[in-house]
Structure 1
């Protein structure tokens, strides 16, 4: 019998996960189908109960449901519990178990460019769900320093205070981060600023960026946001969000099937869909 998988979000029409995962099922000879499901906040409980009732094999959770889904699940992986957000759910013998592959997916993509992270001074821009996942994951990996900036400082402070892993850290507003940007080896942009259609916007000024810094933006559409364009013009190395998207998907696929797929194949597939 064909196994069913899905991604739940609002909005969801823009998701490339169905194309990516259905191509993988075909490649690896797995009788399965992955479907995007538009689920509004008020319908999330009914949707999860319905998916469990029909025996769905697994699903992804995206904005705005990554936190709201937690009380609807049977169990949480320790890292997902610490982060307080879920993006991948596995049906394990009738129990819905929540995982978070955002942080680990980001790190896997990052390590393709940076051989080590524990000697890096890192700045995270933003304090949403993605920032939280990346902050917790990088803190667990014991980077040298891990600072976070946000327009609302209290949201960033909450992330540092709730993180269960010890790391040298400081919270600041955007203006303070701009003044101290030369201190950072790695800068990670986690907000939606610069995403289509607002591609002319940037979350922070790079006037003090050091030329050999590495700048990563978790947005992958467009492939080169304004902040990445500016960073490249200043001599920095850059990375868009495509590798994070691919690796978090690969980790989810592995949890569902026991197969870790070829990330380069996945990346090429998504690039084709993006038209480049």
Structure 2
């Protein structure tokens, strides 16, 4: 039996159990994928360490991590893979011989999704909303693709500034800045990326005013439930090229499946299972 799961908040509607369990069956594996929703279970953020220790004691092969724990879980790891070190966040944990090894599959998942879903998108100037765990991975992906100017916008200005500083050191040829919400001007940018939880089923709304989106923008939202967030609906109504988070979630899930189970999945089959 291979036991895996997902740690986070407001995740009961997640498609991850179906993605992983159906792929496990297709590969002839006896695999379970459990949701550990801290909100539904009445757990505090401070219970993260105890929950992780419990999964290790129960013999889990590994687990995924989502909002709001992708950065908070890093100090609990015994080792960090290069992907997690580069992204500054962990979204996949493999448990091997009692050791917790943190990985990040969000970065390649988003990068490949953007290339496939928005081919030829201009990358001179991109605005990214959100500088948390997912935002760190997404920003690294954008800069690795050659974004020349990246503006980070986050309600936590100190967090945005800290991430901008780290990225500026890692990508010296790019201009990376942190911009306060009240000083944001989207007009000069070609692309807008939503890496915040705003727009999820449990957090409806838009992270920026609808009138900040113009027809010349392309837009990528990493949210996949619902498939069309309010932000995407507005963008498409204005004629923008836009993608949701399905490509990213399938890409990162396929990599996570292999890290946790040691078996290579069929990513296209996993994508079809969401249909």
TM over 0.5: yes
Residues 118 and 141 in structure 1, CA contact (< 8 A), matched pair in contact too: no
Q: Are positions 1:129 and 2:128 aligned together? A: no
Change (3 A) 1:196 1:53: closer
Q: How does 1:137-156 map to 2 (within 5 A)?
A: 137-156=141-160
Q: Is structure 2 residue 192 aligned with structure 1 residue 193?
A: no
Q: CA deviation at 1:97?
A: 0.6
Alpha-carbon distance in 2 for matches of 1:122, 1:190? 13
| C-alpha distance after superposition, 1:120-158 (max 9, x if no partner) | 421101222221221123223432221212344333111
Asked whether the equivalents of residues 126 and 148 of structure 1 are also in contact (C-alpha less than 8 Å), the reply is yes
Give 1:93-242 correspondences, 5 Å limit.
93-115=97-119, 119-163=123-167, 164-166=169-171, 167-177=174-184, 179=185, 181-196=186-201, 199=204, 201-207=205-211, 209-242=213-246
Equivalent pair of 2:69/2:133 in contact (CA under 8 Å): no
TM-aligned CA deviation for residue 265 of structure 1: 2.8
Aligned twin of 2:64: 60
Distance 1:14 1:228 in 2: 20
Distance in 2 (CA, whole Å) between partners of 1:51 and 1:196 is: 27
For residue 17 of structure 2, what is the aligned residue in structure 1?
18
Higher relative contact order (CA 8 A, sep 6+): 2
- 2: CA distance, partners of 1:206 / 1:257: 42
* Aligned partner of residue 90 in structure 2, secondary structure: coil
Per the TM alignment, residue 176 of structure 1 is displaced from its structure 2 partner at its CA by 3.0
Query: 2:253: which partner in 1?
Result: 249
RMSD: 2.4
| Distance apart, 1:204 and its partner CA | 1.5
